Amino acid sequence: AQSVAQPEDQVNVAEGNPLTVKCTYSVSGNPYLFWYVQYPNRGLQFLLKYITGDNLVKGSYGFEAEFNKSQTSFHLKKPSALVSDSALYFCAVREYGQNFVFGPGTRLSVLP
């Protein structure tokens, strides 16, 4: 069975500093991995995905994520955080022939 963990409920970072939001997963085969962002009173918005190939994936709004197969991780990163990046972030996994499974979410607060 698929599962996703986001070990931090909350991440605080100062504006201009690099940010990392962590995600680990468990699958039996090869996963498709996704990051979504949710702003207040809105639905989830797609940021980026990993399918295969290059372990560093670039996405929207300057975000990137690093796939590490040996550590079964897919951490979201950004070199310089903005106050406007403050939101709820979800990691998701999908195996072949399966539905999406979402992590519990990590709330990112970027402090001015």
Footprint of other proteins (CB under 8 A): 4, 9, 32, 34, 36, 41-46, 49, 51, 90, 94, 96-100, 102-105
> Residue 15 CB, nearest distance to other proteins (Å)?
26
CA distances to 3, 53, 107, 109 from 9, in Å = 17, 30, 6, 11
Over its C-alpha atoms, the chain yields an Rg (Å, rounded) of 13
> Residue 94 CB, nearest distance to other proteins (Å)?
7
Question: Which amino acid makes up residue 64?
Answer: E
Query: Which is nearer to other proteins, 10 or 112 (by Cβ)?
Result: 10
Q: What tokens were used for 21? A: 């939001």
> Residue 39 CB, nearest distance to other proteins (Å)?
10
